[in-house]
Amino acid sequence: MSLASFLVLVVITRLTVSAYDDYGVLGFVYYRVFEVPTESLLETFGAYPFRYPHTWGANIRPLAILLGKDYTPAFSIVSQLWHGASGATSNALFIADAWVDFSYAGVIVFSILAGAICRAIDAIFLANGKMVVGIAVIGAVCIGIFTLLVSSLNTAALSGGLLLAPLAAGAIVKVIRRVDHRQISHTLRPR
C-alpha cells in the first residue's frame, strides 16, 4: 500500500511539476512530503507561544464564531512571521494546530481524539472481516490520515476524508440495505 501510494505520488508529481532541482522528481517528492511539514512544524512551535500567545480556540473557525472571537488562522500568521508572505500558508501537523489553540492540553486531547477516530473506523468497518466497503473506507481514510500530517484535525476529519468517507459509506450501505429489505419484503408479501 505504501509503495503504491508513493508511486502514485511520484507519477502525479511528474505530470504536474514542470521543473525540478538537481535531485529530480524523487528529491522533490521527498522534500515536499518530509521536509516541508517538518519545517512548518518547527516554525509553528517557534511562533507560539514565544511570539504570539495561544489562541484558545480562535484558530478553529466554528469555535471562534461560538466564542465571539476573530478567526485567526495560525497558518497565515506563521507564514507572515517567518516568510513575510501574507497570502501564503504554512500548514503544519494537526498537533501544531492543537498546540496553537490549547497548548499541551490541546496536543493531548487532539491526539487521543485522532486515535479514537481511526480506531473506531477500524472497529466499525473491519468488524466483519475485510469486506469491500471496509477496504474502500480504509483506503479513503488513508488520505485523511495523510491530511493530518499537513493540516488540523477538523480539516482532516471533514474535507480530508477522515470522518466524511466513513459517514458517506455508512449512509450508502444503510440506504442499500433498506432498499434491499423493501424489495425482499415486497416479493414475500402475500397477494
Q: What is the pLDDT of residues 3-34, one digit of tens each?
A: 887 788 788 888 887 777 778 888 888 887 78
CA distance 163 to 156: 8
Would you state the cell numbers that stand for residue 82, as one nine-digit string? 517567518
Beta-carbon contacts of residue 147 (< 8 Å; ≥ 6 apart): 155, 156, 159, 160, 161, 162
Residue-wise pLDDT tens digits, 51-66:
999 999 888 888 899 9
How confident is residue 115, by pLDDT bands cut at 50, 70 and 90?
Answer: very high
pTM for this entry: 0.74
Range 147-156 average pLDDT: 84
**Tell me, what's the pLDDT at 186?**
59
pLDDT for 161 equals 82
Angstrom distance (rounded) from CA 71 to CA 77 = 11
Residue 88 has pLDDT above 70, yes or no: yes
- Which amino acid does the sequence have at 166? P
For 89-102, write each residue's pLDDT tens digit: 777 888 988 999 99
In whole angstroms, what is the distance from residue 74 CA to residue 172 CA? 36
Q: What is the average pLDDT value for the chain, to the nearest integer?
A: 84
Identity of the highest mean pLDDT range in 14-18, 116-120, 172-176, 184-188: 116-120
* pLDDT of the residue at 104: 94
Burial class of residue 22 in the structure, from the number of CB atoms within 10 Å of its CB (0-12 exposed, 13-18 middle, 19+ buried): exposed
